């Protein structure tokens, strides 16, 4: 990557005068004509590739420039299996899918066996282990997860100093519309936890939690609330500090300590919140669902709403968790909501069912939503849109 590569790109691109109508026909543009007497660049203008292009009929065209590749496939959570792209004379591979059901889906290209995010799509899935892109197919009418012209909450990226971990830790905080203006008001708080290998950004960028809350609040369906999204996995940072750090992802103690000793006090010190169990909820996906159970069922005196989504719990370990990590059953019976979501095709479905069985046996009330589909963020958004109206009421 030469220092001047982006400089060239920029200087060349700056001459662009392009209509998308032209681009739709031939999305690879020729070197544009000079303007205002400015010098024509000596370089070939890099092609501008539109990908993904969502058509009015909900079919989608994907494009990827790879003059020398042998095979390019599309892998996406809206597909049953990968589909091949075909190569054009210009070195741009493309494929147009069938009609895609409106939703937001992770996808990537597989170029000669290598997974590649779509370079021309600005929407990236924040994750520690893979880099995927996001396809957003809109329906005829806006959905609860779409950006609409309603009052918008704000997402704040900030850091807190964790004595518990000895680290500066990042978190995202959603404040609802009106939070800044109505300084006389306090709000309940939902702590919302990402999954394994996700980051503090994933509920925002992939989970569209801000659009979901904005829309539900605008419709009067959800209470205005603050949503706190910590980075629940401190191990990468801990390991940078001390390579001997032991990683134990099955234990939720480190997370619960961080949440109860650092994050909640930080939030309640910095934001106008209602600081009582009836005004605290916790929800989380996957490993974050396990952490939700650890912190939520471990501390019913702190949380009256506990919502695991496809939690990473497994039949054989559950009794041990109830014995060692969770509060006594009579305290769990005081929860205002214990809500379990899971996809029926999720490999963690058995764990959700085992949890349900245990709760039923112990006489702890719960609600559930077993949706179609698997361990996906399409389901996460559905779950959040389902629980948000149930909180703090």
Nearest to its own copies of 133, 302 (CB atom):
133
What number of chain residues touch its own copies (CB under 8 A)?
Answer: 108
| Contact between 182 and its own copies per CB under 8 A | no
Nearest to its own copies of 115, 334 (CB atom):
115
Tokens of 165: 């971990």
Helix (H, G, I), strand (E, B) or coil at 155: strand
- The 214-243 contact track toward its own copies, x by CB under 8 A, reads ----------------------x--x---x
Specify the stretch interacting with its own copies by CB under 8 A; choose among 61-69, 184-192, 361-369, 381-389: 61-69
Nearest to its own copies of 86, 244 (CB atom):
244
Beta bridge partner(s), residue 93:
64, 87
| Contact between 374 and its own copies per CB under 8 A | yes
| Contact between 317 and its own copies per CB under 8 A | yes
| Contact between 75 and its own copies per CB under 8 A | yes
Binding to its own copies, residues 127-146 (CB under 8 A): 127-132
From the CB of 152, what's the least distance to its own copies, in Å?
A: 5
Binding to its own copies, residues 346-365 (CB under 8 A): 346-348
Count of CA atoms in the C-beta half-sphere (13 A) of 336: 17
CA–CA distance, 48 with 237 (Å, rounded to integer): 38
Binding to its own copies, residues 78-117 (CB under 8 A): 79, 81-82, 106-108, 111-117
| Contact between 286 and its own copies per CB under 8 A | yes
Name every residue whose Cβ is closer than 8 Å to that of residue 120 and which is 6 or more positions away in sequence.
Answer: 49, 50, 51, 63
21 burial level (CB within 10 Å; 0-12, 13-18, 19+): exposed
Residue 168 to residues 66, 241, 242, 315: CA-CA distances in angstroms?
41, 12, 15, 36
| Contact between 57 and its own copies per CB under 8 A | no
Specify the DSSP element, H or E, that contains 171: strand 167-175
Q: How many residues would you count in the chain?
A: 393
């Amino acid at each position: 990557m030469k220092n001047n590569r982006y400089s060239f790109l920029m200087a060349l691109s700056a001459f662009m005068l392009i209509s998308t109508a032209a681009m739709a026909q031939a999305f690879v543009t020729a070197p544009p004509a000079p303007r205002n007497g400015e010098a024509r660049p000596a370089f070939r203008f890099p092609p501008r590739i539109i990908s993904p292009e969502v058509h009015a009929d909900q079919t989608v065209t994907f494009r990827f420039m790879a003059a020398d590749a042998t095979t390019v496939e599309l892998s996406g959570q809206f597909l049953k299996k990968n589909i091949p792209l075909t190569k054009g004379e210009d070195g741009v591979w493309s494929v147009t899918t069938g009609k895609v059901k409106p939703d937001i889906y992770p996808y990537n290209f597989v170029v000669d066996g290598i997974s590649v995010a779509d370079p021309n799509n600005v929407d990236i899935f924040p994750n520690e282990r893979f880099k995927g892109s996001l396809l957003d197919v809109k329906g005829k009418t806006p959905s609860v997860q779409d950006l609409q012209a309603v009052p918008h909450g704000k997402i704040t990226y900030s850091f807190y100093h964790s004595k518990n971990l000895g680290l500066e830790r990042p978190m995202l905080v959603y404040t609802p519309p009106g939070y800044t203006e109505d300084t006389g008001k306090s709000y309940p708080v939902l702590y919302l936890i990402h999954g394994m290998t996700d980051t503090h950004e994933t509920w925002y960028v992939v989970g569209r939690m801000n659009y979901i809350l904005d829309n539900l609040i605008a419709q009067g369906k959800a209470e205005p609330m603050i949503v706190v999204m910590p980075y629940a996995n401190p191990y990468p940072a801990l390991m940078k500090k001390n390579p001997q750090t032991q990683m134990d992802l099955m234990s939720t103690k480190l997370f619960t300590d961080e949440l109860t000793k650092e994050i909640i006090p930080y939030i309640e010190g910095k934001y106008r919140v209602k600081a009582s169990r009836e005004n605290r909820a916790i929800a989380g996906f996957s490993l974050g669902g396990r952490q939700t159970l650890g912190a939520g069922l471990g501390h019913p005196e702190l949380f009256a709403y506990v919502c695991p989504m496809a939690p990473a719990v497994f039949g054989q370990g559950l009794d041990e968790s109830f014995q060692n990590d969770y509060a006594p059953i009579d305290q769990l019976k005081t929860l205002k909501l214990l809500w379990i979501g899971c996809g029926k095709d999720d490999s963690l479905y058995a764990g959700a069912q085992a949890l349900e069985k245990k709760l039923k046996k112990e006489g702890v009330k719960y609600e559930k939503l077993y949706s179609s589909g698997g361990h996906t963020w399409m389901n996460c958004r559905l779950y959040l849109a389902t629980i948000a109206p149930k909180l703090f009421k």
